[in-house]
Amino acid sequence: MSDLDKKVQPATELLPGAGYPKQKSKYKSVAIKAGLVAFAFFISAATFSARGASRGSYGVNTDVCSQAAELIPEKNGVIWESSNVRYDTLPFKKRAVKWLGGAIRIPTETYDEMQPVGIDPRWEIFHVFQDYLLEAFPKFHKALKLTKVNTYGLLYEWKGSDASLKPLLLAAHQGVVPVENATLGQWQHEPFSGHFDGEYIWGRGSSDDKHGLIGIMSAIESLLELGFKPTRSVMLAFGFDEEIGGLDGARSLAAVLLERFGPKSFAMLVDEGIGYGTQYGQVFALPGVTEKGFLNIQIDLASPGGHSSVPPPHTSIGMLAKLLVEIEENPFEAHLIRGSPTYKTVQCLAEHGSEMPLAWREVIRLSQYSDEALREAEMLLLQNPIIKSLAGTTQAINLIRGGIKTNALPEQAWAVVNHRISMESSLNETTSRQTDLLRPLASGFNLSYTAFGAFLSEPDVPAYGSLNLSYAPGASMDPAPVSPTDGGAAPYDLLSGTIKAAYNSHRDIEGDDNIVVSPGIMPANTDTRHYWNLTDHIFRYRHVRLGGRLPNNPHTVNEVMEADNFIEIIRFFTALVLNADESELI
């Protein structure tokens, strides 16, 4: 243990109700405050692409958390003002609730093991959903050209008058995660009711991701009713299987877009992602400028069967259990890296969070220049499990199976370990690390060892059984490229200014400091994984308000969307289309 490690060992005292140890810091005794717990909630609701980079290798950005100005449409100013007046009216609010509620009532559930389109009848519900869209948005469907891709993928083109301008690309998905029958009694309102209680719209898909899809269509329907005609083309890509990897939906849509427009042909892409919420006395928005990689490793173990009355020292299940314990007891290391989205978020909190403790702000600011301060900040921040999960590669054992009878030795046992890969790592690094980790156990149990197609045991040596590591069925991906944010990156600045305009106009306030925009990292995966070749400027952001009276609850019981927030989402997409339309910089 180094002298520095000895200096920063955590004290044993715990903050009341927080569960995180205080730290004895050389920087004014920096302590973990309850605000860190709140930050965990915020950023979870919520880099440069350098694989295997060492700590601090990104360098120093002296312009910390600079902010773009609020961006209010000027050429399209009349349309913008008319939209704002309309969105404040009770008839429009009722209409918006009806739009989203109707979409929720169609149960477009997708399952992990669905057969291809045209074979599995469960896909057919998407016909019903698309008939609903056609009826609900008549002007939209009259003005935009629709191409159906792989039957259920929806590609809309709103053609602009200037073909020299790169189009704006907006994405969303039609499918939702299934509702477990066992949870039906826990729902306050039926999961596909689209019930409106006067404040919230209830049901599966309300916060993931039908509010995004319907929000986009609602904004465009309203713009068309106001007579708006775009100069810059707008493309909409609505996949249908994002919840199971997007292999049939977004991947097919991306292929058509690439063939039709070519690589790097779009000005920017906005898909679902992180929203905004209050932290340390300041409202922060965190558009995801990248997302972590994704990998499922399947571990298959085989050994001789037999009668349970004469058992060996270790059964297949017992050996597999030991392997899984070894994995959990050896998590991946996590580090704060200067320039990474997680580090930039922390910097923004320190610069603009007026209620953050002064000592915290000092150590975060010093960490930009001092390696010792960086280690100090890392030691403090990475005790928070959410921040730690964003900063490093995570692993979670999610599936396990083995054995068929109580008196028969199991001949097969298997498990699947899910990994979310950090920006500083890769698929290859992750598989190599797990391969090396389990090699001693494979040898100790006298198992032949194959990992990702490579036979790693001694040839011609008799083995008691076999151990095989492989990619589990489904998608895997390296961490996403990072969208530029520094040095006046025009698409990021346009998005930032649009967020501020939507936020301010919804509240009828003025000023650039009402909401601060910071680059963020998307911890989950989206359809954007299939669109990397179309633009360098990909943002994972939905203008969703976090921390309301009720949580949004995506993927679980009582999923809801606040009706007032849904109106603000429509306002955001309206501002985004108008601002992109008149921008000369993207």
Instruction: Identify the DSSP state of 124.
Output: G
Residue 465, beta-bridge partner list: 447
Q: What is the pLDDT of residue 585?
A: 96
Which domain range does residue 217 map to? 77-273+549-582
Residues 106 and 170 grouped into a single domain: yes
- Residue 107's pLDDT is 98
Do 253 and 312 lie in one domain? The reply is no
Q: Does residue 518 sit within a domain?
A: no
Domain boundary (429, 450, 476) is at 476
Question: φ and ψ at 543, to 5 degrees?
Answer: -80, 60
One domain for residues 129 and 256: yes
Q: Is residue 140 part of a domain?
A: yes
303 shares a domain with 450? yes
> 431, 456, 476 — which closes off a domain?
476
Domain annotation covers residue 379: no
Binding residues: 173, 208, 243, 271, 555
267 and 416 both lie in a single domain:
no
Residue 461: predicted pLDDT: 76
Residues of the chain with pLDDT under 70: 1-62
pLDDT at 11: 27
Q: How far is the C-alpha of 77 from the C-alpha of 86, rounded, in Å? A: 14
Q: Which of 476, 508, 536 is the last residue of a domain?
A: 476
CATH code of the domain in which 299 resides:
3.30.70.360
d(CA 249, CA 126): 12
- pLDDT (tens digit per residue) in 39-68: 444 444 433 333 333 344 444 445 799 999
Give the residue among 454, 478, 482 at the shortest CA–CA distance from 467: 454
Which residue type does 357 have? P
Q: SS3 of 158, please?
A: strand
Work out the number of other CB atoms within 10 angstroms of the CB of residue 200.
24
Please tell me whether residues 243 and 303 are part of one structural domain: no
- Single-letter amino acid code for the residue at 190: E
State the amino acid at position 441 in one-letter form.
L
Query: Which parts are annotated binding residues for Zn(2+)?
Result: 173, 208, 243, 271, 555
Are 297 and 209 part of one and the same domain? no
| Same domain (yes/no): 134, 204 | yes
Q: Which residues contact 548 (CB under 8 A, 6 or more apart)?
A: 562, 565
What φ, ψ does residue 135 adopt, rounded to 5°? -75, -40
Domain assignment present for residue 532? The answer is no
Q: Answer whether residue 63 is part of any domain.
A: no
130 and 227 together in one domain: yes
Residue 38 within any structural domain of the chain: no
The CATH number that applies at residue 204 is 3.40.630.10
Same-domain pairing of 177 and 309: no
* 302 lies in the same domain as 192: no
Q: What is the pLDDT of residue 21?
A: 34
The length of the chain in residues reads 586
pLDDT at res. 43: 47
Domain count across the chain: 2
Tell me if 170 is assigned to some domain: yes
Q: Looking at the domain assignment, is residue 398 inside a domain?
A: yes
State which amino acid sits at residue 532: W
